[in-house]
């Protein structure tokens, strides 16, 4: 048996798979309208026996893997062996620092990890299962908008007891949001596939992301940065969206994105004059007044060069666009405090095709793969 602190990186099923078996049994019990212990027949009986067999198989495999019970809880689950191998093959450490980048329009969440040379490299890209609202920042409590900007996550912001499998509080509102009078709370990256202003992943994804965060904290990282963008900050995308009311805000975010792209280092992010500033020392950032005047500062030369070159390219692209090439401005709006209608809900939910609001794959939705228990649930 392993000692109490050890974690294994195997392909064995995790606790949430067994929990899924139990939930499925409970759902079927409710649907049948009779106790599970009564004799079942026909298709229902066959499904019942398959579920029981799957649960038994899960229990047996847990025993074979010699896992302790607490090791199998989702919040303490080991990283998959393939992910551990990817970490090592990319010159990273399992417990090295991480950084997260989010892109709404592309529905991508990227986890970057620090290499032995101190720079960050992309480890894995996850397809976001759902985000709500439209492109643009969150401004007030109840507007169902997912945040955009630069956020910080500490160990205290990990929630192992979330109603949505696992969750990481993004830290909204941050200093910039508060300086601009923005309100809201409990904006998360969480499981399930349903969003009311959060970034929702499927349970398997959020378990990996949560575990990566946990390992980075165990390795000594005090906090990691989330960079949440409306889209990938390319000259073409900036040209497409230049008619948006949020264009100036996005130009500001792009400077932080450019800094990271050019240096592969996490930018120090500060707020002064109610705007983000980047590449200040940690000491300078700590001394800034969010609503006061900004001190003189400059970005590194290579970052300034990228900002200028991208802007020139954006102008060139925009000048060649026809009116239909520019992104349409969403007319969706939601009045805080009012129940959302099914029609409005469908319009504001950007959900991955093939998944329901609980994060489960639906029939005909593709997605491939699946756990070793998939055949028992068909």
| 115 burial level (CB within 10 Å; 0-12, 13-18, 19+) | middle
**Running DSSP on this structure, what letter comes out for residue 339?**
P
Distance between CA atoms of residues 229 and 340, nearest Å: 25
Structure tokens at 318: 């925009």
What are the angstrom distances between the C-alpha of 216 and each of 34, 89, 149, 189?
47, 17, 22, 17
Coil, strand, or helix at residue 200?
A: strand
Structure tokens at 252: 């500001």
Sequential DSSP letters for 301-312: HHHHHHHHHHHH
Task: Answer yes or no: are the C-beta atoms of 241 and 247 closer than 8 Å.
Answer: yes
Catalytic residues: 190, 198
| 168 burial level (CB within 10 Å; 0-12, 13-18, 19+) | buried
What are the angstrom distances between the C-alpha of 225 and each of 26, 170, 210, 251?
39, 9, 14, 19
């Amino acid at each position: 048996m392993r000692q109490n602190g050890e974690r294994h990186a195997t392909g064995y099923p995790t606790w949430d798979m067994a929990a899924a078996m139990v939930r499925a049994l409970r759902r079927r019990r409710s649907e049948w309208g009779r106790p599970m212990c009564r004799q079942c027949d026909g298709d229902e009986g066959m499904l019942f026996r398959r579920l029981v067999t799957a649960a038994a198989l899960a229990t047996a495999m847990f025993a074979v893997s010699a896992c302790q019970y607490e090791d199998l809880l989702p919040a303490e689950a080991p990283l998959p062996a393939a992910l551990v191998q990817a970490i090592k093959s990319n010159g990273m450490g399992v417990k090295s620092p991480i950084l997260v980048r989010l892109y709404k329009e592309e529905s991508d969440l990227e986890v970057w990890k620090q290499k032995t040379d101190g720079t960050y490299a992309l480890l894995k890209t996850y397809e976001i299962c759902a985000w709500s609202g439209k492109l643009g920042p969150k401004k007030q409590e109840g507007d169902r908008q997912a945040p955009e900007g630069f956020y910080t996550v500490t160990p205290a912001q990990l929630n192992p007891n979330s109603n949505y499998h696992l969750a990481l509080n993004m830290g909204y509102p941050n200093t910039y949001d508060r300086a601009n009078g923005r309100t809201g709370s409990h904006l998360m990256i969480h499981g399930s596939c349903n969003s009311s202003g959060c970034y929702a992943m499927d349970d398997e994804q959020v378990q990996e992301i949560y575990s990566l965060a946990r390992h980075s904290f165990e390795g000594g990282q005090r906090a990691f940065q989330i960079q949440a963008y409306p889209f990938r900050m390319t000259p073409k995308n900036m040209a497409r969206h230049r008619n948006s009311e949020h264009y100036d805000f996005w130009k500001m975010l792009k400077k932080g994105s450019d800094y990271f792209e050019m240096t592969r280092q996490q930018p120090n992010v500060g707020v002064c004059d109610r705007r983000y500033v980047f590449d200040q020392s940690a000491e300078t950032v700590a001394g800034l007044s969010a609503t006061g005047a900004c001190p003189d500062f400059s970005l590194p030369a290579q970052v300034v060069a990228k900002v200028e070159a991208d802007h020139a390219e954006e102008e060139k692209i925009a000048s060649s666009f026809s009116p239909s090439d520019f992104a349409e401005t969403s007319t969706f709006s939601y009045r805080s405090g009012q129940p959302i209608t099914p029609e409005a809900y469908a319009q504001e939910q950007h959900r991955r095709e093939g998944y329901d609001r609980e994060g489960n794959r639906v029939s005909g939705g593709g997605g491939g793969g699946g756990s070793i228990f998939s055949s028992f649930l068909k």
